[in-house]
Amino acid sequence: MLRLRGRLGNLDGNRAEEPELNMAPLIDMVFILLIFFLVTTTFVREAGVEVQRPQAATAATKAKGALMIALAADGRIYIERRQVDLRSVRGLVERFLAEDPEGAVIIAADKKTLTGRTIAVLDQCRLAGARDVAVAAKKQGT
């Protein structure tokens, strides 16, 4: 028997199946994109204390992932929102570099911090193997 189908279904009165939209591939693509962005995103690790940075004419922005070490005016050291001792700076920097060998270390010292304290933290970072260590400053005029 020959059956003719129109837009609304078969000519014998039976309705045709409704088209169905499969959402599984769309959901898979969303998860793949989410994973891609999580893997390729670099995070700046906050130091945990607000410091008044000195100004410098040559100040530049760091684009890649970095470990931020903050030195308060009274010499306290903060890494990842926790106050740490000078002796533990080296181990924390080594752990950071094990996770991200190309990562930078940024020392954000308050402008009232003693230079000797800043140099001691810088020395611990170098002893930990950090090759890219910078001291944070504000661009002049900002």
The pair of structure tokens assigned to 100 is 């991200």
- Whether 81 is covered by a domain: the verdict is yes
DSSP codes joined into one string, 101-127: TT-EEEEEE-TTS-HHHHHHHHHHHHH
Q: Is residue 135 part of a domain?
A: yes
> Would 30 be classed as within a structural domain?
no
Which pLDDT score, from 0 to 100, does residue 110 have?
Answer: 87
Is residue 15 situated within a structural domain? Answer: no
Quote the CA–CA distance of 139 and 53 in Å, as a whole number. 10
pLDDT the model gives residue 71: 92
Let me know: does 108 contact 86? Beta carbons within 8 Å. no
> What is the domain range of residue 50?
44-139
pLDDT tens for each residue of 49-78:
565 555 555 555 555 568 889 999 898 999
Q: Is residue 27 part of a domain?
A: no
CATH number for the domain harbouring residue 122:
3.30.420.270
The yes-or-no verdict on residue 135 having pLDDT over 90 is no
Q: How many domains does the chain have?
A: 1
Report if residue 73 sits inside a domain.
yes
Tell me the one-letter amino acid at 67: L
Q: What is the pLDDT of residues 1-51, one digit of tens each?
A: 455 555 555 555 556 677 778 888 889 999 999 888 877 776 655 555 565
Q: What was the pLDDT predicted at 76?
A: 92
Tell me the torsion sign for CA atoms 41, 47, 50, 54: negative
In a domain, 90, yes or no: yes
The residue among 53, 87, 56 whose CA lies nearest residue 70 is 53
* Residue 34 within any structural domain of the chain: no
* pLDDT of amino acid 100: 86
Q: Is the pTM of this model over 0.95?
A: no
